[in-house]
Amino acid sequence: MLRPLTRLTVSLRLARAPTHAHHGFPAAAAAPFTTTTAAPLKQMPPRPKPPPESDLEESFLKGSGPGGQKINKTSSAVQIKHIPTGIVIKSQATRSRSENRKIARSLLALRLDELANGDQSRTAIVGGAKKKRSDSAAKKSRRKYKKLAEEAAEATGKETTLKQAEEVDVEEGKAAEQEAAERVMQSETGNNTNAQK
Amino acid sequence: MPRLPPSLFWRARREISPMATYLLKACRDLESTANELRWIREHVRATPSPVFPGLRTWNLCERRGKGVPLQYVLGTQPFGNLDIKCRPGVLIPRPETEAYTLHLASLLSQEQQSSPAPLSILDLCTGTGCIPLLLLSSLLTPPAAPPKITIHALDISPLAISLATHNHAHNTALNLLPPPTPQTPHTLTFTRANIFHPLPAPPHHQQPGGTIDLLTANPPYISPAAFATDTSRAVRNHEPRLALVPDTSTSTLTDYAAAYNCLPQDIFYARLLECAAELRPRRVFLEVGDMAQAVRVVGMVLRDGGAGLGGYYATVEIWRDEPEVERVEMRRIAGREVGVRGEGKGRGVYLFQGDV
């Protein structure tokens, strides 16, 4: 039972060894199994630390009516205000009050980082990297369909297909754009941020 | 309750989802409808089931739309860092309870940092067990874990006791509560008991020669009249009346009201203060419904009928919804300056043997 497994890991390790060496990862000599190494991501700036509690004014959004046992609120939205800048962040992403407090603080930290560092902020760098990735994916798919269309044109020997390829091209670009927009929407759901100046 | 315009249902359908039209009946505004739909979908995604996810979401939305509290529909409510299971027949934990429980835990932790000592806590009317569980979890966090924690929690309802026991096991299984180890010995027991009878004999609430460090209670505190008018529909129709309104149909409770000359919604406080006078815990926290009730309870503590409690507790405070906020205003009640701490509405009465 054990023998084929060991042999497999050895062969895997041998196959991977140059990759590890190339990217500077320590060789996993002790680990019995190695997982597939993902393409090394560029080091992103760390998440900024939230400002000290003394700079914050926290409020829990509640109705004006009675509280406690008399009502049963499902949402425990948290709103924090950063006193020095006047930035207000509201979070109702989860049902948990404690979780919402943490989320509001990390969103505020990102916001302050954006203000302080501009293009060098984490949001800008991560956003830029994401855009680059989606752009290159869109470019790849454009090339693929262009090539397919060209092949089809060669096969049928008709010249009109060139026009169709361009149409596909445009549609593909739109789909990628829409997908990116949706992703942004998802990540923002439940976290409304707005600045008061 | 004003009627919702049909246009709002169309907007919910168009802007959120067709499922949202069910939820809107219970949520009554688009923002909370969108939130609840998102939470329902997250719950469906997180809990595997052989039933088709779309069908499950639809079923849950329909149930919620009929007015069942979301916590009963999903079966859980986050409470601090814990995941508290909720079942019909047991009161759902409220965010205000979470706020003061965390504050109490931080006070105890501060004390532990300067002088570590074994802790003994008694929680009455425990319900889901949320207060003792969160106290335990917060006290066990590293910087100031006491050498030993003993917590006893009582409730009259067998449903509550079985759910609280289940919640203890559930949160231990999720690794949100560490199991007892020789380094952090702790015991948490849930016992069925009627607090209007003599409290169960030691060791249930008292170690021989030991004192109780904290007595907490979130008793029923709504008057029958307020239950009919002030409570929200989800509470009135689906949560247990036993946990909300003192049951004045029994002679035990009416006798108390007569003996202490108190309002029907304050009967439990008369008995709880009697327990406090008997057990002499170092700290007491009793949740109340509003500022007027808090003032009445402080009055009960300070008057002569409070069995000398006013003299025993150097600190008598009223806590608002957010006691963490550093703001104390003084208020004169029954001839004594009483601090009102925090922000929001009156939420509880805090008694402490020492000075703040």
Question: What pLDDT, on the 0 to 100 scale, is given for residue B323?
Answer: 93
Lowest model confidence (mean pLDDT) among A52-66, A121-135, A171-185, B323-337 = A171-185
Which residues are paired to A59 by β-bridges?
A: A79
Look at residue A100 and tell me if it is in a domain.
Answer: no
The continuous run of DSSP H or E covering B286 comes out as strand B283-287
Instruction: Identify the CA nearest to B287 among candidates B265, B309, B306.
Output: B265
Q: What's chain B's average pLDDT?
A: 91
**For residue A20, is pLDDT > 60?**
no
Determine the residue among B35, B72, B73, B130 to mutate to test chain A binding: the one whose Cβ has the most chain A Cβ atoms within 10 Å. B35
Selecting from B38, B39, B234 the residue whose C-beta is nearest the C-beta of A72 gives B234
CB contact under 8 A, A68 and B239: no
Q: If you count residue pairs, one on A and one on B, with CB atoms under 8 Å apart, how many are there?
A: 94
For the record, the structure tokens of B105 come out as 């835990």
CA distances from B108 to A18, B148, B168, B273, B343 (A): 56, 13, 21, 21, 21
| Residue ranges of B 82-111 with Cβ closer than 8 A to chain A | 91-92, 94-99
**For residue B176, is pLDDT > 70?**
yes
Q: How far is A113 from chain B (nearest CA, A)?
A: 27
* A15-48: burial string, b at 16+ Cβ within 10 Å, e else: ebeeeeeeeeeeebeeeeeeeeeeeeeeeeeeeb
pLDDT band at A12 (very low <50, low <70, confident <90, very high): very low
Half-sphere exposure of B158 (CA within 13 A, CB side): 0
Site of tokens 């207060």: B131
| Radius of gyration over every alpha carbon of chain B, rounded to an integer in angstroms | 22
**For residue A197, is pLDDT > 60?**
no
Look at residue A3 and tell me if it is in a domain.
Answer: no
Question: What pLDDT, on the 0 to 100 scale, is given for residue A196?
Answer: 41
**Residue B53 corresponds to which amino acid?**
P
Distance CA A76, CA A101 (A): 10
Name which CATH class applies to B95-352.
alpha beta
**For residue A1, is pLDDT > 70?**
no
Which residues contact residue B279 at a Cβ distance below 8 angstroms, ignoring those fewer than 6 apart? B122, B199, B205, B206, B212, B215
The continuous run of DSSP H or E covering B324 comes out as none
**For residue A25, is pLDDT > 50?**
no
Selecting from B27, B69, B289 the residue whose C-beta is nearest the C-beta of A68 gives B289
Determine the residue among A56, A61, A70 to mutate to test chain B binding: the one whose Cβ has the most chain B Cβ atoms within 10 Å. A70
- List chain B residues with CB under 8 Å of A59: 343
Q: How far is B131 from chain A (nearest CA, A)?
A: 14
Strand order of the sheet with strand B214-217?
B186-192, B149-155, B119-124, B214-217, B283-287, B343-352, B315-322, B336-341, B328-333
Look at residue A141 and tell me if it is in a domain.
Answer: yes
Which of B112 and B10 is assigned the larger pLDDT?
Answer: B10
Question: What pLDDT, on the 0 to 100 scale, is given for residue A159?
Answer: 54
Selecting from B35, B92, B222 the residue whose C-beta is nearest the C-beta of A190 gives B35
Distance CA B168, CA B190 (A): 10
Mean pLDDT across the stretch A110-117?
90
CB A72 within 8 A of CB B232: yes
Distance CA B356, CA B354 (A): 7
CB contact under 8 A, A67 and B70: no
Which of A170 and B291 is assigned the larger pLDDT?
Answer: B291
**For residue A40, is pLDDT > 70?**
no
Lowest model confidence (mean pLDDT) among A18-22, A63-67, B93-97 = A18-22
Which residues are paired to B152 by β-bridges?
A: B122, B189
Question: What pLDDT, on the 0 to 100 scale, is given for residue B108?
Answer: 93
CB contact under 8 A, A99 and B289: no
- What value, to the nearest 5°, has the Cα angle with vertex B21 and ends B16 and B24? 95
Phi-psi region of A157 (alpha: psi -120 to 50; beta: other; left: phi over 0): left
Domain of A147 in residue numbering reads as 130-188
CB B216 within 8 A of CB B138: no
Half-sphere exposure of A64 (CA within 13 A, CB side): 0
CB B142 within 8 A of CB B61: no
ipTM of model over 0.85 = yes
Look at residue A121 and tell me if it is in a domain.
Answer: no
Q: What is the pLDDT of residues B301-311, one digit of tens each?
A: 988 645 578 88
Question: What pLDDT, on the 0 to 100 scale, is given for residue A15?
Answer: 40
Mean pLDDT across the stretch B132-139?
95
- What value, to the nearest 5°, has the Cα angle with vertex B75 and ends B287 and A102? 65
**Looking at the 3D structure of chain A, how many domains does it have?**
1
DSSP H stretches of helix in chain B: 6-15, 20-27, 30-46, 53-65, 70-74, 95-114, 130-139, 158-173, 224-229, 233-238, 251-260, 267-279, 291-302, 309-312
Question: What pLDDT, on the 0 to 100 scale, is given for residue A7?
Answer: 43
pLDDT band at B117 (very low <50, low <70, confident <90, very high): confident
**For residue B210, is pLDDT > 90?**
no
Question: What pLDDT, on the 0 to 100 scale, is given for residue B252?
Answer: 87
Look at residue A103 and tell me if it is in a domain.
Answer: no
Length reported for chain A: 197
Selecting from A58, A59, A73 the residue whose C-beta is nearest the C-beta of B95 gives A73
CB contact under 8 A, A189 and B222: no
Instruction: Identify the CA nearest to B220 among candidates B250, B248, B258, B200.
Output: B248
Q: Does B230 touch chain A (CB under 8 A)?
A: yes
